[in-house]
Structure 1
Amino acid sequence: MSVQQQITTYWDDRAPAYDAAQHRPGRDAEADLWADVWSSALPADPVDVLDLGTGSGHAAIAVSRLGHRVTGLDLSTEMVRLARRRAGGMANPPRFVVGDAADPDLPGTFDVLVSRYLLWTLREPEAAVRRWQRLLRPGGRLAMVDSAWFPGGLPGAEGPFGAAYDDRVRRVLPLAEAGSIEPTADLLRDSGLVDVEVTPLHALLELDRETGAAPGHEPRLQHLLTARLPG
């Protein structure tokens, strides 16, 4: 089993619980907060957007509700199945496809690439970000939300997570144990992207403190990272 297959198998198994955690009760304000995050980073007029590592479609659905034309991409077939179910009945649903976020093989190009909670678990991210640039139109943008989720190191080998994210996997995930968001921002800068900005999302942190973070997580400050392809 390859490193990516090992990661994907974990998220296939984890998909129902992960999706439930993303839509847990008591977080009525969350949809508005995420709408603010994405609208601050995307053009006001409808554009073509690719959501990399879409999971069960949280970002793709939120961006579609802003009026954009969205494709969501994920290697986990179970996540994609749940995303399609979540988007059922929408007036402007995203298109969800199975594919590798680290090496996307899609026809055409996009105005904006987005992701939510992908960068920390992105294998060989330097190569991945260079590949992403081939999918962006000149002047296209990246808008990605992530955090330093495991500044003290990933959990040990006990349990499904630790078994999946073993030493072999960790060696190709340099951002997984970053102590801050700065290595992620530096990755975007070093790839040749310009206008890299990091915006702390304090409102999301306060919501997590008030209502509780996702199971197994502590409230952590998340950041919106934006960048632009020259041209």
Structure 2
Amino acid sequence: MSERQRANPQLSAVMSAQDRINTYWTGRAPGYDEYQQRTDRLTADTRAWSQIWAEALPPAPLEVLDVGTGTGQVAMVLAGLGHRVTGIDLAEGMLAQARHHAATIADGPVIRHGDAVHPDFPSASFDAVVSRYLMWTLREPETAVANWARLLRPGGTVAVVDSTWFPEGLDNASENFADHYDGQVRAVLPLAAATSIDQTVAVLERAGITGVTATSLTSIFELDRRFGVAPNHEHRMQYLIAGRV
């Protein structure tokens, strides 16, 4: 525990919750990556996500920060589109997977340990900040998005993909998070049980992002219908929520 955490019990509780989240995703990383790399779906996924991100962002090359990069799937797609990408995450297991993939291509993304809520980069370092499947498990989302905006150059883009994964609450979730996503963890995740994507839109707007839109990702919905969703997950519409500073 840091001196700052000792002096601030509330901060200590928040970071303890974050540690449990990191531990959970480190444990999930190998299986999560294996699912992302399914040979029966990989080509179709790459094509669909490439189109989504190409339409979400201005033309390459941009300096892009992928917060909560996970196994680096988004970072790899963006690098493939010609962007210069930096991916950050706090889960060491996820970072190991992302670094492995980044090393397989020329000009691959740079993968770093880093906190999505407080990314440690100078102001105006990037043209876009992106994420996928992060907002629901993000502590202090308004603080995070405001910090992302600070990192953007004028006219820069924030673009996040997520869904309402647990609208009935995590207690009734089909996947068992009990050991890590307990009451203390859920208390610091305001979007974990969001019932509408409008709640994520509102977070971006309150953080100062302008012209925020939410676009249904029907291509991914149809791929999920065709190939099936990840084990213990529900078939749900995903959304691209994007705006500018």
Say yes or no: TM over 0.5: yes
Bin of the TM-score, shorter chain as denominator length: over 0.9
Report how far residue 151 of structure 1 moved: 0.9
Q: Which residue of 1 aligns with 2:238?
A: 222
What amino acid maps onto 2:103 in structure 1? G
- 27, 31, 51: which one pairs with 1:13? 27
- State the Cα deviation string for residues 167-189 of structure 1 (Å, max 9, x = none): 11111111110111110001111
- 149, 153, 162: which one pairs with 1:137? 153
- State the Cα deviation string for residues 156-210 of structure 1 (Å, max 9, x = none): 6998622211111111111110111110001111111101011100110011011
Q: Residue 61 of structure 1 aligns to a residue in which SS?
A: helix
- 169, 188, 192: which one pairs with 1:153? 169
Q: Distance in 1 between matches of 2:150 and 2:54?
A: 24
Asked if structure 1 preserves the Cα contact closer than 8 Å seen for 2:166 and 2:195, the reply is yes
Asked if structure 2 preserves the Cα contact closer than 8 Å seen for 1:21 and 1:215, the reply is no
Q: Please say if 1:3 is aligned against 2:28.
A: no
**Aligned pair in 2 of structure 1 residues 134, 19: CA closer, same or farther (>3 Å)?**
same
Q: Which residue of 1 aligns with 2:9?
A: none
Name the structure where helix makes up a greater proportion of residues.
2
Most deviating of 30-39 and 14-23: 14-23
Q: Distance in 1 between matches of 2:83 and 2:175?
A: 39
Q: Distance in 2 between matches of 1:222 and 1:158?
A: 18
Q: Distance in 2 between matches of 1:19 and 1:191?
A: 31
Q: Which residue of 1 aligns with 2:66?
A: 51
CA-based RMSD: 1.7
Report how far residue 45 of structure 1 moved: 2.8
- State the Cα deviation string for residues 62-83 of structure 1 (Å, max 9, x = none): 0000000000000111111111
Q: Distance in 1 between matches of 2:172 and 2:213?
A: 33
Identity %: 51
Q: Distance in 2 between matches of 1:65 and 1:200?
A: 23
Give the TM-score taking structure 1 as reference length: 0.94
Q: Residue 46 of structure 2 aligns to a residue in which SS?
A: helix
User: What runs of 5+ residues in structure 1 fail to find an aligned partner?
Assistant: none
Q: Distance in 2 between matches of 1:87 and 1:193?
A: 30
User: What runs of 5+ residues in structure 2 fail to find an aligned partner?
Assistant: 1-14
Give the TM-score taking structure 2 as reference length: 0.89
